[in-house]
Structure 1
Amino acid sequence: MEMKPGYKRTEVGVIPEDWETFRLGDISEVSAGGTPSRANPSYWNGDIPWVTTSEVDFCTISSATQSITAEGLKNSAAKLFSPSTLLMALYGQGKTRGKVAVLGIEAATNQACAAISLHSTDSHKFLFHYLVGQYESIRSLSNNGNQENLNSSLVRSICVPYPKPREQCAITTALSDMDALLDGLNRLIAKKRAIKQASMQQLLIGQTRLPGFSGEWVTQKLGNDAILKARIGWQGLTTAEYLDDGDYFLVAGTDFLNGRIDWRNCHFVTQHRYSQDPFIQVRPRDVLVTKDGTIGKVALIDAMEKPAALNSGVFVIRPKADKFVPEFFYFLLASKVFEEFLAQLSAGSTINHLYQKDFVGFAYQIPPTTEEQTAIAEVLSDMDDEITALETRRAKTRALKQAMMQELLTGRTRLVAPSANTADKAESQTEGRKANVYFLRSVLAAEIIDQLHDQPTFGHVKFEKMMFLAEHLCQVDTGSTYHRKAAGPYDNRALRSIDSQLQKQQWFEPRKQDGRYQYMPLAKRGGHKPYFERHFSGIGETLEKILSTFKTAKTEQCEIVATLLAAWSDLLREHEAVSDEMIVHEVLHNWHEAKQRIPEDRWLMALGWMREKGLVPKGATLP
Structure 2
Amino acid sequence: MRDEALTARRVAFPAEWRRMRLADVGKWLSGGTPSTSNNAYWGGDIPWISAASLKAFRIAESARRVTMLGAENGSRLVEAGTLLFVVRGMSLKSEFRLGVTQRTVAFGQDCKAVIPAEGIDAHFLAHAIKAKTPEILAMVEETSHGTGRLDTSRLQGLEIGLPSLPEQRRIVAAHDAIEHRIAALEQVLAKSVVVEAALSASALASGAGEWPIQRLESVAVVAAGVTLGSEPTGDGVIELPYLRVANVLDGRIDTADVKTIRIMRSQLDRYALRRGDLLLTEGGDLDKLGRGAVWDGRLDPCLHQNHVFRVRCSNALSPDFLELYASSPAGRAYFQSVGKQTTNLASINSTQVKNMPVPIPSREEQDRLLAPVRAIRARIAILAKQIEKLKVVQKGMTEDLLAGRVRV
The TM-score normalised by the length of structure 1 is 0.58
Aligned to 1:179: 179
Give the deviation of 1:143 after TM superposition: 4.7
CA offsets per residue over residues 260-285 of structure 1, 9 Å max, x none?
A: 5456644444562x533745432232
Partner amino acid, structure 1, of 2:277: D
Question: Cα–Cα, structure 1 residues 178 and 189, in superposed 2: closer, same or farther, change >3 Å?
Answer: same
CA offsets per residue over residues 140-160 of structure 1, 9 Å max, x none?
A: 233576454114434443322
8 Å CA contact retained: 1:327, 1:374 = no
8 Å CA contact retained: 2:248, 2:280 = no
1:408 corresponds, among 373, 383, 401, to 401
Structure 2 residue runs without a partner (length 5+)? 1-6
8 Å CA contact retained: 2:43, 2:65 = yes
CA offsets per residue over residues 156-183 of structure 1, 9 Å max, x none?
A: 4332221111111111110111111111
Pairing 1:53–2:44 present? no
Question: Cα–Cα, structure 1 residues 159 and 315, in superposed 2: closer, same or farther, change >3 Å?
Answer: same
8 Å CA contact retained: 1:328, 1:373 = yes
Query: How far apart in 1 are the matches of 2:308 and 2:99?
Result: 41
Question: Cα–Cα, structure 1 residues 19 and 304, in superposed 2: closer, same or farther, change >3 Å?
Answer: closer
Aligned to 2:242: 250
Query: How far apart in 1 are the matches of 2:245 and 2:340?
Result: 24
CA offsets per residue over residues 537-576 of structure 1, 9 Å max, x none?
A: xxxxxxxxxxxxxxxxxxxxxxxxxxxxxxxxxxxxxxxx
Provide the secondary structure at the position in 2 that maps to 1:53: coil
Pairing 1:315–2:309 present? yes
| CA RMSD after TM alignment | 3.0
Question: Cα–Cα, structure 1 residues 63 and 314, in superposed 2: closer, same or farther, change >3 Å?
Answer: same
Query: How far apart in 1 are the matches of 2:301 and 2:155?
Result: 51
Give the deviation of 1:218 after TM superposition: 2.5
Partner amino acid, structure 2, of 1:290: T
Query: How far apart in 1 are the matches of 2:262 and 2:122?
Result: 56
Aligned to 2:82: 85
Query: How far apart in 1 are the matches of 2:13 and 2:77?
Result: 35
Give the deviation of 1:392 after TM superposition: 0.9
1:343 corresponds, among 336, 342, 346, to 336
Query: How far apart in 2 are the matches of 1:38 and 1:172?
Result: 39
CA offsets per residue over residues 586-622 of structure 1, 9 Å max, x none?
A: xxxxxxxxxxxxxxxxxxxxxxxxxxxxxxxxxxxxx
Give the deviation of 1:342 after TM superposition: 2.7
Provide the secondary structure at the position in 2 that maps to 1:166: helix
CA offsets per residue over residues 91-123 of structure 1, 9 Å max, x none?
A: 222346632111011000111111111133751
Aligned to 2:126: 128
Provide the secondary structure at the position in 2 that maps to 1:315: strand
Aligned to 2:229: 238
Give the deviation of 1:251 after TM superposition: 3.1
Aligned to 1:221: 215
Larger radius of gyration: 1
Higher strand share: 2
Query: How far apart in 2 are the matches of 1:248 and 1:139?
Result: 33
CA offsets per residue over residues 168-221 of structure 1, 9 Å max, x none?
A: 11111101111111111222211111111121122123279xxxxxx9322233
Partner amino acid, structure 1, of 2:229: T
8 Å CA contact retained: 1:205, 1:365 = no
1:391 corresponds, among 384, 394, 400, to 384
1:357 corresponds, among 338, 341, 351, to 351
Aligned to 1:536: none
Moved over 6 A (4+): none
Aligned to 1:26: 24
Partner amino acid, structure 2, of 1:287: L
Query: How far apart in 2 are the matches of 1:97 and 1:253?
Result: 24
8 Å CA contact retained: 1:247, 1:306 = no
Aligned to 1:439: none
Partner amino acid, structure 1, of 2:130: V
Aligned to 1:201: 201
8 Å CA contact retained: 2:340, 2:346 = no
Give the deviation of 1:328 after TM superposition: 1.0
CA offsets per residue over residues 458-517 of structure 1, 9 Å max, x none?
A: xxxxxxxxxxxxxxxxxxxxxxxxxxxxxxxxxxxxxxxxxxxxxxxxxxxxxxxxxxxx
Question: Cα–Cα, structure 1 residues 143 and 121, in superposed 2: closer, same or farther, change >3 Å?
Answer: farther
Query: How far apart in 2 are the matches of 1:267 and 1:142?
Result: 27
The correspondence of residues 111-510 of structure 1 with structure 2, limited to 5 A, is 111-120=109-118, 123-143=121-141, 146=144, 148-206=148-206, 216-231=210-225, 236-238=227-229, 248-256=240-248, 259-262=251-254, 265-270=257-262, 272=264, 274-276=265-267, 278-293=269-284, 295-303=289-297, 305-319=299-313, 322-346=315-339, 351-366=345-360, 368-415=361-408
Query: How far apart in 2 are the matches of 1:184 and 1:372?
Result: 36
Report 1 or 2 for greater relative contact order, CA contacts < 8 Å, sequence distance ≥ 6.
Answer: 2
Question: Cα–Cα, structure 1 residues 164 and 304, in superposed 2: closer, same or farther, change >3 Å?
Answer: closer
Partner amino acid, structure 2, of 1:91: R
Provide the secondary structure at the position in 1 that maps to 2:27: strand
Query: How far apart in 1 are the matches of 2:298 and 2:349?
Result: 28
Question: Cα–Cα, structure 1 residues 50 and 73, in superposed 2: closer, same or farther, change >3 Å?
Answer: same
Give the deviation of 1:341 after TM superposition: 2.3
Partner amino acid, structure 2, of 1:164: S
CA offsets per residue over residues 258-310 of structure 1, 9 Å max, x none?
A: 745456644444562x5337454322322111114564231213335533333
Give the deviation of 1:358 after TM superposition: 2.7
Query: How far apart in 2 are the matches of 1:46 and 1:263?
Result: 45
Provide the secondary structure at the position in 1 that maps to 2:330: helix
Give the deviation of 1:317 after TM superposition: 1.5
Query: How far apart in 1 are the matches of 2:296 and 2:202?
Result: 25
Provide the secondary structure at the position in 2 that maps to 1:307: coil
Aligned to 1:443: none
The TM-score normalised by the length of structure 2 is 0.85
CA offsets per residue over residues 335-385 of structure 1, 9 Å max, x none?
A: 33322223334598754321123333322334x321111122232222221
Query: How far apart in 2 are the matches of 1:246 and 1:261?
Result: 23
CA offsets per residue over residues 36-64 of structure 1, 9 Å max, x none?
A: 12222222111111111223235101211
Partner amino acid, structure 2, of 1:40: N
